[in-house]
Amino acid sequence: MSLINKISNALSKKTIFRFEGWQIIGTHTKAPDTRTTEQLLANIDYFAKRNPEVAKFKAELKAMNPKYLGLVSDICELANRSDMLNNNINLKDSKNLGKNIFAEWMEKLPKASKENPEALEFTQEVINQTDSNASKYFLATSAELLNHPEFVEHLKATKPLVKGIAENNLSGGYAMGVAKVRNFLNSLAGYVSSASDPDKIKMMPEILRTAENIPEDINIFIEEIPFIQSKVPVDKLKANLQIFPKVVEKLSKQGNKEINMTDFLMKNVNLD
């Protein structure tokens, strides 16, 4: 092996983290994870030497599909990160959280990567779209999600909406308390719920696009959770959505500048 190859191999195995130093507070989209499999495996070795939670499941974690090694590394890094914030949360603190959440994720990830991979991809999307603190609060409240593959369709339908949900709830900079994070988590819980209909969740991107194309002088209100948890047949909702722009035009001419879009889609108010 040449010296150049030796140097290349050494560099490929160097630990590389995503959340070092100062992090943006609030919602933001993180850069794509470009770390190699070798670098991610090196990260697991690094954390296993420092965390019994990782050491106990090191072999299982390293044997996971390489697609999910970035998530393992991210969770390890978040669990070992202490932000200088009043609402910082410690994922290892069993005294405050009731159990060691970090250990729970390390134990469950290998099995879930085979039986419930959509939960891992959803978790990665949350981490990719939120700040470190919000990500940690999600991890603190969502490990049980790994045990429920029956929510796979909910997760698939909600994943493209995570960025918008984060922007709606976490924007505006740092807040002393946890109200913003709680609102974000409650919104996600409303989507990933047995009361919600995945087919209605799948309609949300088109609903939002339709609302964005409405003239700016008209205020459109959208109540997402009541909509996706309604009992109205999807076919009726889609039919109402198709005529909504014409209804808005009619109401605008009548001087109505505020419209509850989801109320119309669910009830198709008689405007004659």
pLDDT tens-digit series, residues 137-155:
999 999 999 999 999 999 9
Positions of E strands within 126-223: 219-221
pLDDT band at 5 (very low <50, low <70, confident <90, very high): very low
The SS3 of residue 55 is helix
C-alpha to C-alpha distance for 158 and 90, rounded to whole angstroms: 27
198 within 8 A of 153, measured Cβ to Cβ: yes
Mean pLDDT of the chain: 89
**Mean pLDDT across the stretch 75-80?**
96
Helix/strand/coil (H, E, C) string of 56-77?
A: CCHHHHHCCCHHHHHHHHHHHH
What is the predicted pLDDT for the residue at 20?
Answer: 72
C-alpha to C-alpha distance for 86 and 89, rounded to whole angstroms: 9
pLDDT at 22 over 70: no
What is the predicted pLDDT for the residue at 13?
Answer: 52
**Mean pLDDT across the stretch 57-62?**
98
- Angle among Cα 102, 77, 118 to the nearest 5 degrees reads 65
**Beta-ladder partners of 258:** 219
C-alpha to C-alpha distance for 45 and 22, rounded to whole angstroms: 24
Q: What is the pTM of this model?
A: 0.90
pLDDT tens-digit series, residues 84-109:
667 789 999 998 889 999 999 999 99
pLDDT band at 2 (very low <50, low <70, confident <90, very high): low
**Is the pLDDT higher at 30 or at 102?**
102
pLDDT band at 12 (very low <50, low <70, confident <90, very high): very low
**Mean pLDDT across the stretch 170-175?**
75
pLDDT at 127 over 70: yes
Residue burial 105-124, b: 16+ Cβ < 10 Å; e: rest: bbbbbbebbeebbbbbbbbb
C-alpha to C-alpha distance for 27 and 134, rounded to whole angstroms: 9
What is the predicted pLDDT for the residue at 270?
Answer: 47
What is the predicted pLDDT for the residue at 267?
Answer: 85
pLDDT band at 175 (very low <50, low <70, confident <90, very high): low
41 within 8 A of 62, measured Cβ to Cβ: yes
**Is the pLDDT higher at 269 or at 20?**
20
pLDDT band at 174 (very low <50, low <70, confident <90, very high): low
